[in-house]
Chains A and B, each alone.
Chain A
Amino acid sequence: MFFQLLIGGLAVGCIYALIGLGYSLIYSASGLMSFVQGEIFMLGAYVAYTIYVGLHIPFLIAVLIAILIMFVFGMLLERGMISPLLRRGSKQIHIVLATIGLSIFLKNFAMIIWGSDVKNFPSALGEDPIRMGNVSISPQQIAIMAVTFICMVLLHFFMNKTKLGTSLRAAAQDPMAAGVVGINVSLTVGMAWALAAVLSAIAGILLAPIYGVYPKMGAILSTKGFAAAVLGGYGNMYGAIIGGLIFGVVETMAAGYIASSFKDIISFVVLILVLFIMPHGILKVKADD
C-alpha cells in the first residue's frame, strides 16, 4: 500500500507544484499575490476541451493551441488589469481583491458558457492502468509526473540560461536597476504572469482526463497550490515544487494511514506547523534577506 500511496501522492503533488509555481513566479517577478491561478487552471482545461473535443483537433495540436491561448490570457490579464491598477496606485491588497474578483467572474463565466455539468475529457493515453504487483499507475499519472518534471527543467533552463529569463530575474530583484540597464521591465512582468498562466493551464490539461472538466474544479486547488507555495517559501520556484510534492504526499498518506476525513485537514495543519517553525517556508526567498 505504501508505494501505491506514494505514487498517488507524488502525482497529486505535481499538480500542486505546478500551481504553486505560478504563485511563486508572479510573486518573484512582480511582488504581487494572485488568487486566480485555480480558475486559470479551470479555464485552461475548458479551452483545451473545446478545441480537442469540440473542434476535433488532434490532441497535441489542441494542447499547444490551448497553451498559446492561455499565455496570451495571462499577458492580457497583467496588461489589462494588474498594470492599470498599479499605475493608479493600488496596494497589494487591491490586487489580491481584484484577482479574487476575477476568479469569481471566471467560475460563473464558465458555468454560463459551458454549463455546470461535468464534461468528459478523454485521455489521449488510454484509461487502462499499468499494474506492477500491488501497485497500479494510470498512464495519466505518469504523464503528470513526466510533464511536471519537463516543465521544471525547461523553466530552470529558461530562467538561468536564456536572455529573457535572466532579465526576468533581474527585473524581479531590482526593477529600477534593470530598467537602467535597458531591460523592458513591464514586458518581463507580463511574461511572468503569462508563464504562470501557462503552468496552471498545463496542470488543468493534465488533470482534465482524471477530474472531468467543470467550473469548480479549480477552487480547492487554488487554496492548496497557494499553501504549497507558502510551504516551500513564497516566491521561490524550487520551493513551490518541494512544497507541492510534500503536500501531495502528506495528504495521500494521511488519507491512507490515518483517516480519509483527515485528508484536507492534515495538509493545512502541516502548513501551520511549518510556518510556526520556519516562517519563511522551507527554502528562503533569496531576494528578501
Chain B
Amino acid sequence: MKRKISLALCGVLLAGILFGCGGTDSTKETADQPKETAKVSEGTIKIGYFGPLTGGTAQAGQAAQNGAQIAINKLNANGGVLGRQLEIISYDDKSSPEEAVKAATKLVQSDKVNAIFGSLHSANVQAAAPVIEESKTLCVAGGTSPTWLEQGYTYLFRSISNSTVSAKQLAQYADAQGYKKIAVFTSNDEYGTSGADGFKEACKDYDIEFVASETMTNGDRDFTGQFAKINAAAPDAVFIWCLGDDLGAVTKQLRQSGFDGPILGSESYTLPEILENAGTATDNVYFAAQYLVYENPEDAPEENMKEFLEAYIEEFGTAPMSDNAFRAYDGVMMIAAAMEISGADSGEELRDAYNNIDGYVGLAGMFSYKGGHGEGIDSMRIFQIQDGKYLEAK
C-alpha cells in the first residue's frame, strides 16, 4: 500500500513538473517579447521573427524587428494582405544557434506562423534551417553567408546580397585600384570564414597575392600579434571581415599599429557605432553594400528609402541603427507580395510564389528570385568612408 501511494505521488509530482515547466516556459517567453500581441486572433496572418534581440548584436536585431514592424504597419494600413491584417510574433535568438533552433521551433510548431523573417546571423539560420524546412514554412533571412543556401533547403530565401557578391565587387575594386598584395583579417566564425573564402575565390581572376591571413575571436580586443604579422608582410590593402561589435576596435588598432593604407570591408561598416568608436581610423575604408544607414531621410537618394525612413522615425523616434532594418522590411514586403500573387498564406504554394518574384523593387534594389535558389539580388555599390561621412567610391 505504501509503495502504491509513493508511486502515485511520484507520478503526480512528475506530471506537475512537466506541465508546470511547460507552462512557465511559454509564459516566460510571452512576458519577454514586447512586440507580441496578447491574443492571437483567428484570421490574422502571423509573421514570425527571430533574431538577436539581446547580446552583442542586439542593435541589429532590434532594428530588424522594427523594420519588419514598419512593413506590417504599412500593409495593415493599406487593408492588409488577402483581406486579413498581419501581426508579428517575435522571439529572441540571443545571437546563439541553440536559441535560434528553439525560437524557430516555437514559431513553426506552437505559434504555427504563416511565414518567417529571421535570423540575421548565418550561423543561426543554418541551425534553424532543418526545422523550418520540415515544417514547410517560408523563411526569408538576412544573414550573408552563402553556405545556408547551398545545402538544398527550398524554403529559405535571402533579402540582401550574400557575401560572395560583396567579395566579387571588392575584388573587382581592388584590381581596378592596382592592389597586388592583400592581407586578410577575419573573425574565426562562419561569417568571417565564408567572407574570407569568398574574397579569395573572387580574387583568383585577378593578379592578387595574399601575403597574410590572420583571425580573431569575436569579443577579443588585443590584436598585437596578428597586426604585427600583417604589417611585417607590407600589404597594399587589408581585407577585414568581422562582426560589427568588433569592427570599431579592430579598425582603430590596425591604424594604431601603423597601417595607413586602404581597408576593404563588409557592409557592417555602416553601423554608426563604428564611426563613433574608431573615429578617423575609418578614413580610407571601402566596402560594398546595397544601402547606407542614413541618419536623415533627406540624404536618401531613393523615394522608397525616404518613405521607409520617415515611417521608421515616426514610429520609433530615431533612424535605424543598422541596415538590418532594411533587410527585414524588404523581406516582409516580399512575403506579402508573394501571398497576394498566389492567394496562398503559407506552405508550398506560398514558397513557389516567392520563387517566382521577378523585378520587385525593394530598398536594396531590384529583386529577382527566379532560378536563384533563394538568392534574389546580386548588385552592390562600393562606398568609402572619409571624415566620418560615407561617399560612393569610383
Contact = CB atoms under 8 A, between A and B. Distances in A.
B243 to A, nearest CB: 11
A256 interface: yes
Nearest to B247: A118
A22 B327 CA distance: 46
B225 to A, nearest CB: 3
Interface string A174-218: 000000000000000000000000000000000100111010110
Interface residues of A, number: 39
A1 B232 contact: yes
Contact of A212 (B55, B216, B277): B277
B58 interface: yes
Contact of B219 (A120, A207, A220): A220
A129 B256 contact: yes
Contact of A252 (B217, B221, B225, B256): B225
B261 interface: no
Interface in B240-282: 245, 248-249, 252-253, 256-258, 273, 276-277, 279
A216 B219 contact: yes
B33 interface: no
B257 A136 contact: yes
Contact of B225 (A117, A211, A212, A255): A255
Nearest to A219: B219
Interface in A219-269: 219-220, 251-257, 260-261, 263-264
A261 B225 contact: no
Contacts of B256: 127, 129, 136, 138
B73 interface: no
Contacts of B217: 263-264
Interface stretch (A3-11, A74-82, A147-155): A3-11
A186 to B, nearest CB: 37
B56 A256 contact: no
A252 B253 CA distance: 15
Interface string B208-245: 00000011110111111110110010000000000001
A131 interface: yes
B279 A9 contact: no
A226 B349 CA distance: 57
A21 interface: no
A143 interface: no
Given A4-B224, A254-B225, A214 B245 contact: yes
B224 A5 contact: yes
Nearest to B280: A127
A228 to B, nearest CB: 14
A116 interface: yes
A57 interface: no
Contacts of B257: 4, 129, 136
Contacts of B273: 117-118, 120
Interface of B: 54-56, 58-59, 188, 214-217, 219-226, 228-229, 232, 245, 248-249, 252-253, 256-258, 273, 276-277, 279, 321
28 contacts: A1-B228, A4-B228, A5-B225, A5-B228, A8-B222, A8-B228, A111-B54, A111-B58, A116-B58, A117-B59, A117-B321, A118-B249, A120-B277, A129-B258, A212-B221, A212-B248, A212-B249, A214-B56, A219-B219, A252-B224, A252-B225, A255-B223, A255-B224, A255-B226, A255-B229, A257-B225, A260-B215, A260-B226
Given A8-B222, A116-B55, A252-B222, 6 more contacts: A9-B224, A117-B273, A212-B221, A253-B225, A255-B214, A261-B188
